[in-house]
């Protein structure tokens, strides 16, 4: 119990260094890190009045703290992502996933539903906008982004469901090509 509390305190420290509240998303962590790193790496006009008050040694110490905070929080978020993947794979192992001759948007949706996985969960894990995931499942090809993005989205989606990603991509893109013509 004490160890978990120490971990929470440790991560709170890193959030504070980046001037963020604990529980902030990784995207916000990265954005704050890049902003603060840029701010302390150079001598911007905005910092001019206080640059005399901050020694070079202190500025370098702040940059080191920013780097350490970002690395630790990145490791934290990576571990959380790995745990989510493991949980999804455990669900796949527990359920009988339906077999499909061809992976269509509907086949992906049915597989996801059988596994009890919410579309929002896939969006959070993969970083794919929820609207694109919905459009993939509903095969609203005219609302999908360029083909390169579709391939990347399908790969992440299939991997999350523990499906053969190459097969999912090939099957889906055949349908995409037919409907697009």
> Does residue 45 belong to any structural domain of this protein?
yes
Write the CATH number for 23. 1.10.287
> Does residue 113 belong to any structural domain of this protein?
yes
User: Of residues 176 and 154, which shows the higher confidence score?
Assistant: 154
pTM score above 0.85: no
Q: For position 15, what pLDDT does the model report? A: 92
Tell whether 71 and 105 lie within a shared domain.
no
> Does residue 90 belong to any structural domain of this protein?
no
pLDDT digits (tens, 9 = 90+) for 126-157: 889 999 999 999 999 999 999 999 999 999 99
Number of H helices, E strands in the chain: 9, 0
Residue 96 has pLDDT above 70, yes or no: no
Q: For position 2, what pLDDT does the model report? A: 41
- For residues 69 and 86, give the distance between their C-alpha atoms in angstroms, rounded to a whole number: 26
User: How many separate domains does the chain show?
Assistant: 2
- For residues 48 and 64, give the distance between their C-alpha atoms in angstroms, rounded to a whole number: 21
Residue 89 has pLDDT above 80, yes or no: no
Residue 52 has pLDDT above 70, yes or no: no
Domain closes at, from 58, 85, 112: 85
Pick from 82, 84, 80, 76: which is nearest to 30 by CA?
A: 76
> Does residue 165 belong to any structural domain of this protein?
yes
Tell whether 102 and 152 lie within a shared domain.
yes
pLDDT digits (tens, 9 = 90+) for 15-42: 999 999 988 888 888 888 888 888 877 6
> Does residue 140 belong to any structural domain of this protein?
yes
Confidence band, pLDDT 50/70/90 cuts, at residue 9:
low
Tell whether 141 and 121 lie within a shared domain.
yes
> Does residue 152 belong to any structural domain of this protein?
yes
Please state the rounded mean pLDDT for residues 84-106: 74
Confidence band, pLDDT 50/70/90 cuts, at residue 86:
low
> Does residue 48 belong to any structural domain of this protein?
yes
> Does residue 171 belong to any structural domain of this protein?
yes
Tell whether 19 and 48 lie within a shared domain.
yes
Tell whether 53 and 126 lie within a shared domain.
no
Q: Which domain holds residue 33?
A: 2-85
Write the CATH number for 142. 1.10.260.40
pLDDT digits (tens, 9 = 90+) for 54-84: 777 888 898 999 999 999 998 888 777 667 6
Instruction: Catalogue the long-range contacts made by 23-32 (C-beta closer than 8 Å, 24 or more residues apart).
Output: 26/73, 26/74, 26/77, 29/70, 29/73, 29/74, 29/77, 30/70, 30/74
């Amino acid at each position: 119990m004490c160890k978990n509390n120490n971990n929470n305190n440790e991560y709170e420290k890193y959030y504070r260094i980046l001037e963020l509240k604990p529980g902030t998303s990784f995207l916000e962590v990265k954005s704050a890190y890049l902003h603060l790193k840029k701010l302390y790496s150079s001598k911007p006009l905005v910092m001019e009045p206080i640059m005399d008050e901050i020694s070079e040694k202190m500025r370098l110490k702040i940059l080191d703290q920013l780097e350490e905070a970002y690395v630790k929080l990145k490791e934290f978020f990576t571990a959380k992502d790995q745990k989510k993947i493991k949980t999804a794979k455990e669900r796949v192992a527990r359920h009988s996933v339906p077999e499909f001759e061809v992976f269509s948007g509907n086949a992906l949706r049915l597989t996801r539903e059988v596994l009890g996985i919410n579309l929002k969960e896939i969006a959070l894990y993969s970083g794919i906008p929820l609207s694109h995931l919905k459009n993939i499942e509903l095969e609203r090809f005219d609302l999908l982004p360029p083909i390169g993005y579709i391939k990347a989205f399908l790969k992440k989606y299939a991997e999350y469901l523990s499906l053969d990603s190459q097969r999912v991509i090939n099957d889906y893109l055949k349908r995409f090509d037919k409907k697009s013509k």
